[in-house]
Copies of this chain bind each other. A is one copy, B any other.
Amino acid sequence: MKKHNFSAGPCILPQSVMEEASQAVVNFNDSGLSLIEMSHRSKDFVAVMEEARSLVKELMNLPSNYEVLFLQGGASLGFLTAAYNYLPQGGTASYADTGTWANKAIKEAKHLGNATVVASSKNANYTSIPTGIQAAPGSSYLHFTSNNTIFGTQYKEFPKVDCDLICDMSSDIFSREVNAADFSMIYAGAQKNMGPAGTVVYIFDKDKLGKAGNSIPSYLDLQVHLAKDSMFNTPPVFPVYVSMLNLRWLKANGGVAAIEKVNQAKADLIYSEIDSNPLFTGHAEVNSRSNMNATFRLTDESLAADFDKLWNEAGINGLKGHRSVGGYRASMYNALPLESVQVLTETMKELARVKA
C-alpha cells in the first residue's frame, strides 16, 4: 500500500515523477544509457539543466535580470554563500531569528561580518513570527527564513525594509505566490517542494552580484557558477533531473497559484480539526501557523499509544514531531494530496469518538 507521507523532508514527490525518474535511471530518453552514467556536458543533460532553470524562472515569474542556479551543499552551505556574496568583510547584516535554521544562518554570516539579530521570537519559544521588522542601520541586507519546519511557523507577510532582502525559502518555495522582485536573493534546499535531497536552488538579481568586494572561494561565488551556466563543476545530475520533472508537474497542474489553493485547503482542514477536536492543541500561534508544517500535540499525552496506533494503521508515515518540540508534525508539501490530510483528520476524529 502506498503510504500517506507526512515526512518533514526529504518528503513526498508526485508518483508520476518517481516513476519517470526510476525509468531514467535504467534508460534515459531511450538513449541506451542511464541518466546517471551520461556526461553532464552531453546535449541531453545540458537540456535538463536548462529546462530546470527555465521552469523556475517561469513558475516564479522572475524579472529578466534574475538568474537561477542549481548547486550543492543545501541551505547549510547557502548560509555562508549568502554572506560571501552580499556582506562586505566587517560589514553589517540584519537577521530575523525564528528558530533553528535562522540561527544557523546567523552563525555562518559571522565569518564575514556583523550578523545582527533585529527581531526574534525566541522568548516565545519560536511559536510566532516577529512583526514590524526593521533592518539595523547600514545593513547590507535583511535575512529571514520564510517557513520554519521545526516549529510550524510561517511568514504571512514579508518584511519591508530599505536594504536588500535575502530569504531562505527551503521549506515553502513554490508553495505560494511571492513577488520575487522584492528579493535580492532567494535560496532553497530541494528536498521539500522542489525535488530530492542533493541540490539547492539560488534565485537572484544578477545585477546585484559582485558588489560586496569580497575575495570569494570559487564554489561560494555565485558569479563563478553563473558564468558557467550552473556547470562550474559536475552538477548533482539526478537531483537536478528530478527537480526538473517535479517543476514540470507543477506547471502542468496549474503552477504556483493553483497549488497555493490546494495547500490552503489542506492547511484549513488540519487546523480546523486541531481547533475543534478537544483531544488536540496547536503549537504555533494562530496567525503564524505554517501551511506547510502543522505542529500539534495531544491534550492528554496518555492517549499517545492509541493515537499512534490509529494513524499507523491508516498508512500514515512521518507524523512524529521534531525532538525539540515533541508532539506531532503534519508536513503537507505540494505533492501531498488533500486526501492524505483527510485520512489524518479522520484518525483524529476517530480518537475523539473512542476516547472523548
Residue ranges of A at the interface with B (Cβ–Cβ < 8 Å): 1-3, 5, 7-13, 18-19, 21-23, 25-26, 31-34, 36-40, 72-77, 79-80, 104, 107-108, 111, 189, 191, 196-199, 215, 217-220, 232-239, 242, 315, 317-318
Contact = CB atoms under 8 A, between A and B. Distances in A.
Contact of A25 (B11, B21, B104, B218): B21
Given A37-B13, A234-B189, A242-B36, A217 B108 contact: yes
A26 to B, nearest CB: 5
Contact of A34 (B13, B72, B217): B13
Contact of A72 (B32, B111, B198): B198
Nearest to A8: B39
B111 A198 contact: no
Given A104-B218, A198-B198, A239-B238, A25 B18 contact: yes
A174 to B, nearest CB: 16
B18 A234 contact: no
Residue from the set A32, A219, A242 with the largest chain B CB neighbour count within 10 Å: A219
A197 to B, nearest CB: 5
Given A73-B72, A107-B218, A198 B10 contact: no
Contacts of A189: 234
Given A32-B1, A107-B218, A239-B198, A39 B10 contact: yes
A339 to B, nearest CB: 16
A102 B75 CA distance: 28
Contact of A233 (B26, B76, B199): B76
Contact of A7 (B39, B108, B215): B39
Contact of A80 (B197, B217, B237): B217
12 contacts: A3-B31, A3-B33, A18-B34, A32-B315, A37-B196, A72-B72, A73-B77, A108-B217, A111-B215, A191-B234, A197-B234, A198-B239
Contacts of A315: 32
Residue from the set A191, A197, A215 with the largest chain B CB neighbour count within 10 Å: A197
